[in-house]
Structure 1
Amino acid sequence: MTHRGNIRQSYGGVGRNLGDALARLGCGPLLISAVGDDTHARALTAHNPKLELGGLARVGGASTAVYCVVLDQAGEALFGVGDMTVHDQVTPEHVSQFEDEICCSPLVVLDGNMPLNTIGYVLDLCSSCGVPVWYEPTDIQKASKPWQTGRGDKVTFSSPNLNELRSICRHLSLGELPPHDHVTEGEDLTDLLGAIVHTASPLLDTMSALMVTLGPQGFMILRKASPEKSNDPLLLLPPAPHSSDGVIGQHFSGLKNPKIISVSGAGDCLAAGFIAGMLQGKAPSECSALGLHAASLSLAASPAVPDTLCTSVLPWGQHQAYKIVL
């Protein structure tokens, strides 16, 4: 049976999306990954000339990674099918060619599509060089990879959604998070936010901060800090995993009545906008304003990373209101 619908093709992949968005925001990222020798690879590499692609392995006979997502009429993802085999070529040997660039970086963004041994290698390298790592879990099956390698304590930042965080907490036997379905503003949301802080707190024994995305309910930043220092910059201050302060959350509400064409890529643009602010030493409240605006541009466009995303359109200097969760 053939179902009526609209079919669109755009560039994607979590790591590529983040690289694309960060390049558009003037952060100068180097994308280290692998592509095939096919038309998809040629189109992808020509797409954004601002993105440095010197870290790409071009694998003859392989297919460039493709992900097909089915959206409903509201733009929400129903399910996806991915062919990611080429990512197996992002080996420690390939990544080791860029050790100098990695060790000189202010931040390394690592996604869960990488092989386990590569994730372990990157975490070890960054730990030895003192380079912070932002781990993007990608999906629930890959969320706990750093902990599977025994190197979860070398993750500095991470940005799971609630289901991915639930997977990490289950893997570490930290407890069960409540369901997120049909949670709206009010008492149910307050209970959920409190449960997240309580259950995920052990992760902050080694991690500097955790961004938990909650869809329409926005996101929360977890960190060890006193309430009066909850909005201190995250990246340029020394990490405080051994701080005597308790774990607190900053909850930032979601966008109000956003225009939605596709949700694909919105989380990646949120993270990229937030990271762009972090790299400039901005407070989390300003980073959040930047990230939410970047996410709104993605939601309102079919491409995961829209051409409208650039430094000049972000609300620099503005701060997003937040609620402290203890």
Structure 2
Amino acid sequence: MDAMERMRDMRTKGSIVCIGGVNVDRKARLLVPFELGTSHPVVSTQTAGGVARNIAENIGRLGQNVALLSVVGGDHDGQWLIDATSPYVDTRMVTRIPEANTGAYTAVLDERGEMVLALADMAIYDTVRNEWLKQRWLKFGPISAVVLDTNFPTDVISWVIEQCRQDRLPLCVVTVSVPKVKRLPTVLSGVTWLVTNQAEAMALAGKRRLDDAIESLFRLGVENIVITRGAEGVVYATRKGERGAIAAPVVKVADATGAGDAFAAGFLYGVLNGHMVEDACRLGISNAALTLQTAETVNPALTEQRLRAAYEQYFHEGGES
């Protein structure tokens, strides 16, 4: 059974389970050009973040059943994140660890909204163990698909990949950063979709050319590869021989944080609703564009109708044919 067959009717089979990071995102946007060694006036904001959490909220806002499996601290931030996420996502499997600090991500953005520097306090995820995950995995009802980011330790990530392979569950792995891409195991059989950016793909594959990296990732066992390239759009490749590149529309950027997560969610929404990989990438790009135009990590106005309208605007009304 190929990826499309496994994913075609998922909406009737159960929840999409997102496993990974749930963070507080703190952003400071510069009001003047960045210079080393001096202070800068900024506008500061705080939003709910974390790759797995962001993807889950996007998917929930798009009308899909979605659950989140993660950990937060026993602090105020942890409860705030659960409260902010639960209107769109089943958060019953988010565990509070009293002695830990909730994960925190701090980004400094330039005047255009592009990242200058990011800082991550993610020590809480290193406390996650396989036994914790196994106990909660068994409590889920029907699972239609799994989304896994790379915040958890290697043995936990490996367990999820192997469990999805054994259970024949479609699995989308979404990378978090170049350092954390190294947490992925060397055998990736069981990964239906790998959504990553260009730097992370080449770091994982150990290659300097994108084409070589794609071939190397196929040899590791990945079925389908989608590589985001920021303003240049995306490149995709499948084991069936489908390959292509799709340009991103030009939009006014308010804040780039969360755009990659929005792409992953829009892409998965497309696949779950029967779109071929190329068209699913267009839906992902459309969702990323919607997120780029808001200061929030997840667009608060996102709906299925809004995404479909953006897709039509960017790719059928004077965009790509």
Whether these two folds match at TM > 0.5 is yes
Structure 2 Cα separation of the partners of residues 276 and 91 of structure 1: 30
Question: Alignment partner of 1:34: what SS?
Answer: strand
Cα deviation, residue 15, structure 1 = 1.0
Match of 1:45 among 49, 70, 82: 82
Is 1:3 the counterpart of 2:50? The answer is no
Q: Which amino acid aligns with 1:176?
A: R
Q: Please, which moves more after superposition, 47-56 or 309-318?
A: 309-318
Matched AA of 2:290: L
The Cα shift of 1:320 comes to: 4.6
Contact 2:108 2:117 (8 Å CA) reproduced: yes
**What are the equivalent positions in structure 2 for 1:237-252 lying under 5 Å apart?**
249-252=243-246
Is 1:210 the counterpart of 2:225 in the alignment?
A: yes
Q: Deviations over 1:67-95 (max 9, x none)?
A: 00111111111111111111123321121
1:165 aligns with 2:159: no
How many angstroms does 1:284 deviate by?
A: 2.3
The RMSD of aligned alpha carbons is 2.2
Shift, 1:132, TM fit: 2.1
Query: Would you say 1:200 and 2:214 are equivalent positions?
Result: yes
1:141 match: secondary structure: helix
2:263 corresponds to: 270
1:151 is matched with which residue: 184, 187, 192? Answer: 187
- Residues 38-71 of structure 1 show CA distances to partners (whole Å, capped at 9, x for unaligned) of 1111211111312110111110021111100111
Change (3 A) 1:100 1:281: farther
Runs of 5+ in structure 1 lacking a partner? 178-195, 231-248
CA-to-partner distance for each residue in 1:260-287, whole Å, 9 max, x for gaps?
A: 0110000100110110111122122332
Separation in 2, partners of 1:131, 1:101: 16
Is 1:176 matched up with 2:208? Answer: yes
The residue that corresponds to 2:173 in the other structure is: 135
- CA distance, structure 1, for counterparts of residue 199 and residue 278 of structure 2: 24
Are residue 56 (structure 1) and residue 75 (structure 2) matched? no
2:31 corresponds to which residue?
A: none
Partners of 2:211 and 2:135 lie apart in 1 by: 39
Query: Which residue of 1 is the match for residue 145 of structure 2?
Result: 107
Work out whether 1:29 is the aligned partner of 2:66: yes
Deviations 1:90-121 (A, max 9, x none): 32112112334668422211111011111111
CA contact (8 A) 1:276 1:287 kept: yes
- The answer as to whether partners of 1:102 and 1:126 remain within 8 angstroms in 2 is no
Moved more, 33-42 or 86-95: 86-95
Structure 2 vs 1, CA of residues 165 and 268 (structure 1 numbering), >3 Å: closer, same or farther?
same
Deviation at 1:224, TM superposition (A): 2.4
What CA deviation, in whole Å up to 9, does each residue of 1:172-201 have, x standing for no partner?
Answer: xxx322xxxxxxxxxxxxxxxxxx234421
Partners in 1 of 2:127 and 2:182 — Cα distance? 21
Q: In the alignment, is residue 16 of structure 1 matched against residue 47 of structure 2?
A: no
The one-letter code sitting in structure 2 at the alignment partner of 1:294 is N
Query: 2: CA distance between counterparts of 1:280 and 1:129?
Result: 21
Residue of structure 2 in register with 1:246 after alignment: none
For this pair of structures, how many residues does the alignment match? 277
Contact 1:272 1:291 in 2 (8 A): yes
Q: Does the residue aligned with 1:142 lie in a helix, a strand or coil?
A: helix
CA–CA distance in structure 1, aligned partners of residues 200 and 295 of structure 2 = 24
Question: 1:283 and 1:320 mapped to 2: Cα distance?
Answer: 15
Q: How do residues 215-234 of structure 1 correspond to structure 2 at under 5 angstroms?
A: 215-226=230-241, 230=242
Q: Is the 8 A contact 1:261 1:301 kept in 2?
A: yes
Match of 1:313 in 2: 306
* Maintained 8 Å contact 1:109/1:135: yes
TM score, norm. by length of structure 1: 0.79
- Distance in structure 2 (CA, Å) of the matches to 1:279 and 1:144: 28
Q: Distance in 2 between matches of 1:102 and 1:224?
A: 31
Q: Identity across aligned pairs (percent)?
A: 26
Is 2:135 aligned against 1:97?
A: yes
Question: SS at 2:47's partner residue?
Answer: coil
> Normalised by the size of structure 2, how large is the TM-score?
0.80
Q: Equivalents in 1 of 2:214, 2:279: separation in Å?
A: 24
Change (3 A) 1:295 1:60: same
2:65–2:89 CA contact under 8 A, matched in 1: yes
Kept in 2, the 8 Å contact 1:108–1:134? The answer is yes
AA paired with 2:203? S
Please state whether the residue corresponding to 2:82 is helix, strand or coil: helix
Aligned to 1:86, what secondary structure does the other structure show? helix
